[in-house]
Amino acid sequence: MSDETRLIHAGKTSAPLAETVGPPIQKGSTILLPNAEALYDDANYLTYGRAGLAAQSALQAALCELEGAEGVTLYPSGIAAVAGAMLALLKAGDEVLVVDSVYKPVRRFCDNVLKRFGVAVAYYDPRTPAEKLVADASAQVRMILLESPGSLSFEMQDTPRIAALARERGILTCIDNTWGAGLLFKPLAYGVDVSIQALTKYVGGHSDVFMGSAAAREPSLVRKLADGINHMGWAVSGEDAYAMLRGLRTLPTRMARHGASGLEVAGWLRDRPEVAEVLHPALPGAAGHDLWARDYTGACGLFGVILTPAPAAATNAFLNALELFGLGFSWGGFESLALACDPQLAVRKHRRDYGGPLMRLHIGLEDPADLIADLRRGFDAFKSA
């Protein structure tokens, strides 16, 4: 044979592969099938690489363990996971009730995409009692999308109660559980139908990979979510799945540290004269603490802080004086971050007057004493601005 042919057929993998601790990162669009019958036998063979190879399957199996799920679908980002679950489970004519404190890009998807395809969207106040929320739902309501604690403002919802009441009415519940990361709160065990998270945050843990997941127990939902992925043509790479799985190995260890350091910093902040309120459901006495104590086994490092009334110049001076906290939008990584929230609150339907600027902190894996010293620097700048 000529070199052209020999080079195309040379260098194939010799099976079986040596066993390593992590899965192999397979790369492949084509999957070679053992015989002609297997070509159209989707029941017994993986026939195309887009469905995911070794690293993706290993990650899915591990996430099933974490979430207590029958099936987990992977998406190229957290926002794609929320959008993907909604697209897979809703149709024209349906209505979805979305918590008003939802992650802002989810609202953008609902308003710009779902509505365009004939799905009605209504935003409910996170403080609405579960009974009223479900009793007031119209006959068209097919899904309630929760996020608890809410993005930026950290309202806790009575998720198990909402899930139980919604189930009685045949309404699906989906939750963005990025704060709980599938670890601190187990939505499926509390009756929620679909548990969604931005793996980008705590599971990845290193602020360098985008991915999202949707987990379900009910086989028909698992199937619909998987079909949704297939219809949309979404896929995640083996390299990214491998990185996520590596993050997952240390999730509980990292989370314990994020949670403990977060509470230490939150407790210190609560006693500061520049702080009006700390929005951290795991902090005793804070709003939502009873629900957190009932349903959660721990805390992550993300919480809100309402400062005493001050002009934007003072909050900017506070942020600009921080040396250890980065200024940025993500969270869940090893590093501490801070941002001002007020510009993001204007889109909300049920706005609340916080009486002062709302800030969000992510407490990373640094020594909390060093972080407190950094915040003290911030407050010095805040006071003199």
Residues near ligand PLP (CB under 6 A): 77-79, 103, 147, 151, 176, 178, 198, 200-201, 210, 212
Token readout for 384 is: 């003199």
- Region of 288 (left: φ > 0; alpha: ψ -120 to 50; beta: rest) is left
Q: What is the DSSP letter of 48?
A: B
Catalytic pick among 94, 100, 103, 348: 103
122: helix, strand or coil: strand
Catalytic pick among 100, 176, 295, 374: 176
Q: Where are the alpha helices (DSSP H) in the chain?
A: 3-9, 54-67, 78-89, 104-109, 130-135, 159-168, 219-232, 238-249, 251-270, 289-295, 312-321, 342-345, 368-384
**Minimal CB distance to ligand PLP: which residue?**
78
Minimum Å distance from CB 92 to ligand PLP? 25
Buried b (16+ CB within 10 A) or exposed e, 11-27: eeeeeeeeeeeebbbbe
- What is the distance between the alpha carbons of residues 173 and 125, in angstroms, rounded to a whole number? 16
In a 13 Å sphere around the CA of 47, the CA atoms on its Cβ side amount to 12
Minimum Å distance from CB 362 to ligand PLP? 10
Catalytic pick among 142, 186, 201, 254: 201
- Judged by beta carbon, residue 77 or residue 336, the one nearer ligand PLP is 77
Minimum Å distance from CB 252 to ligand PLP? 20
Which residue type does 124 have?
Y
Q: Is residue 12 annotated as part of the catalytic site, yes or no?
A: no
- Judged by beta carbon, residue 6 or residue 108, the one nearer ligand PLP is 108
Q: Is residue 186 annotated as part of the catalytic site, yes or no?
A: no
Q: Is residue 103 annotated as part of the catalytic site, yes or no?
A: yes
- Judged by beta carbon, residue 80 or residue 134, the one nearer ligand PLP is 80
Q: Is residue 176 annotated as part of the catalytic site, yes or no?
A: yes
- Judged by beta carbon, residue 78 or residue 368, the one nearer ligand PLP is 78
328: helix, strand or coil: coil
Contact 220, 262 (CB under 8 A): no
In a 13 Å sphere around the CA of 364, the CA atoms on its Cβ side amount to 18
Minimum Å distance from CB 201 to ligand PLP? 6
Token readout for 108 is: 């953008």
- What is the distance between the alpha carbons of residues 188 and 175, in angstroms, rounded to a whole number? 10
Minimum Å distance from CB 16 to ligand PLP? 35
Minimum Å distance from CB 327 to ligand PLP? 16
257: helix, strand or coil: helix
In total, the chain counts a number of residues equal to: 385
Token readout for 206 is: 């290193």
Token readout for 241 is: 């799945």
Minimum Å distance from CB 106 to ligand PLP? 7
Contact 149, 288 (CB under 8 A): yes
User: What stretch of H or E contains 219?
Assistant: helix 219-232
- Judged by beta carbon, residue 316 or residue 330, the one nearer ligand PLP is 330
- Judged by beta carbon, residue 66 or residue 165, the one nearer ligand PLP is 66
- In order of 8, 32, 315, the CA distances from 5 in angstroms are 5, 18, 66
- What is the distance between the alpha carbons of residues 200 and 216, in angstroms, rounded to a whole number? 19
- Judged by beta carbon, residue 160 or residue 333, the one nearer ligand PLP is 333
Q: Which residues are catalytic?
A: 50, 103, 176, 201
